Amino acid sequence: MTRIGTVALNTFREAVRDRVLYNLVFFALVMMAAAILVGQISIGIEQIVIVSLGLSAISIIGLLISVFIGVGLVSKEIDKRTLYALLAKPLRRWEFILGKFAGLVLTLTVNTAAMAAGLFLALFYVKRSLEQADTVVLIAVYFILLKLALVVALAMLFSCFTTPLLAILFTAGLYIAGLFVHEMRGLQGGLIDPMLGRLLRWISYLLPNFENFDVMGAAAHGRVIPGALIAQNTAYAVVYCAIVLAVAMAIFSQRNLK
Amino acid sequence: MTELAIDIENLTKDYPYGFLHLKKRRSLESLTMQVQAGEVFGFLGPNGAGKSTTIKLLMRLIFPTAGSARILGKPISDIEMHRDIGYLPEQPYFYDYLTAAELLDYFARFHDFTAAERRERVQRMLKKVGLESAGRIQLRKYSKGMLQRVGLAQAILHDPAVVVLDEPMSGLDPVGRREVRDIILELKKQGKTVLFSTHILSDAEMLCDRVGVIVGGKLQGVGAPSELVGVKAQGMEILFELPADAASGGELLAQATRTGDRYRLQVEESGLYTAMERLGAAGAKILSVTQVKPSLEEYFMHLVEADRAQSAAVEVRAK
Ligand SMILES: Nc1ncnc2c1ncn2[C@@H]1O[C@H](COP(=O)(O)OP(=O)(O)O)[C@@H](O)[C@H]1O
Ligand SMILES: [Mg+2]
């Protein structure tokens, strides 16, 4: 456990020193510009504009970091041969994978928390107050974080057996497919061949369901998010990550380094 | 019977290559070799012989096609084995965003040291490899030789009983090479077992209790350096200078090769003193006399040819 934590903290340190957190400057600029603009129009849509824009930015920036750094977590250590000395230490390969995963999730958590704080600042600036109902924005941010953890796990899995470029494509492909699982399930009604419909339905259950993590509409309009959805999404992300990481660990444990 | 530090049995490695990795190339052929506890063992062979392959197999960085190995009595698949071994990879590279001190501290965390012990050890190791003043510089600014030193420091950081070094002298200047030799000898004095690979004959001769010679993935023999590489000196080389006002060196000078102000002259061992006297009479200033040995390449060529001749002989007999 301490070994996993050691790898995780070093991964976090790497991200900080490689200036990954500089994206926050970009986010801050976007939020500031939006807040000032909305402040001038001010026709009662401040909440919607700021929350939608903020959550979209948090999601997109997080996704970029998850995919690009997630794919490099393991492959970069192999390519640069930094892994050789490390694996000669009493560190199991699965502990390394888990540590790397935890390190990037920690980085994303810090990054996302900072962006969420920025979002609330902007919201406070345009509304001059915050309400109880705004906590729904926090839940939306939490869902984004769950989604990002899942993306990191997938990126790591692919990078364990293909080239970084292919791993990026696979992860992006799965993410996009995962946004349309409901549509895939809805396709069967007579429109297409029933066999194909059944196949798509099967596939839709294997795909990571990213649709459930999107509550931007509810957050923007201050609607309540049911507690059951929070529990369901949390459990889904934990179980799905566990399965994906277990496969990644199994593959990586067999792998010959160059 | 002495205890075995490393016990390798029939270790074989095929690397896949070609379309869909369907073809296989054998890089290590059924290697069986033992390293006794407390000895310095040199793993000697030309480039591409399979030295790094063997070492990476031992470190579990790659997995064998066949065979097995034990380190300190434990099968290498046992993670516990890693507590007591140190490893310097070939041409090591480390996290370039860390300083040397941070890197060593990071690695030390995988062993059960307290924070105070870690700090003390890191400083001691940096000092040992001559990097005390560079400990706070990021590794991206390190030269190849400095990285090699950091690599050595992390290999011996936790006081391991078995130290495996892959080409520890490569990339180092003469001073660095001597320092590495001193560290290896110090490890030996502490009763550690050292296995190091090299393609440089003199390094092995100078340090090893025993050497194993590997060529083309096959172990050619194991023994004391003098037995294996005790190839006869081909002669002596005299290095000398000739002042401008010196008398002519005559025919000896004609045989010498000149580089700048200096001359090199190669003579038979038996003719050494005569040659030196004649050079002295000619007013030459003798700078050094060294034994000329066949280069390792020549030595390995000889081994490979002997290997071929033997298999040819077997073929003839079979007919
Ligand atoms: N990852 C690899 N894939 C394919 N062939 C390899 C790989 N690593 C080494 N080899 C081959 O195995 C042989 C032995 O290499 P190596 O063990 O690195 O030699 P040495 O360390 O003695 O110079 C060489 O012919 C080399 O080309
Ligand atoms: Mg090598």
Closest to A73 in 3D by CA, of A255, A215, A248: A248
Measure in Å the smallest separation between the Cα of B57 and chain A Cα atoms: 9
pLDDT in tens, A149-164: 999 999 999 999 999 9
Give the pLDDT score at B94.
93
0.90 cut: is pTM over it? Answer: no
**Tens-digit pLDDT profile for residues A86-131:** 999 999 999 999 999 999 999 999 999 999 999 999 888 887 777 7
Q: Parse chain A into domains and list their residue ranges.
A: 2-179+214-254
Check CB contact under 8 Å for B95 and A18. Answer: no
Give contacts of A254 with chain B, Cβ < 8 Å. 63
In order of their start, the domains of chain B are: 4-229 (3.40.50.300), 235-292 (3.30.70.3400)
In sequence order, the β-bridge partners of residue B81 are none
Yes or no, beta carbons of A88 and B82 under 8 Å apart: yes
**pLDDT score of B55 more than 90:** yes
Chain A's closest residue to B86, CA to CA, is A88
Instruction: With beta carbons under 8 A apart, name residues in chain A contacting B154.
Output: 85
Give B52 Cα–ligand 1 centroid separation in angstroms.
7
Tens digits of per-residue pLDDT, B63-111? 999 999 999 999 999 999 999 999 999 999 999 999 999 999 999 999 9
Interface test with A, best of B25, B53, B55, B79 (most A CBs within 10 A): B79
Q: Closest approach of chain B CAs to the CA of A131, in angstroms?
A: 43
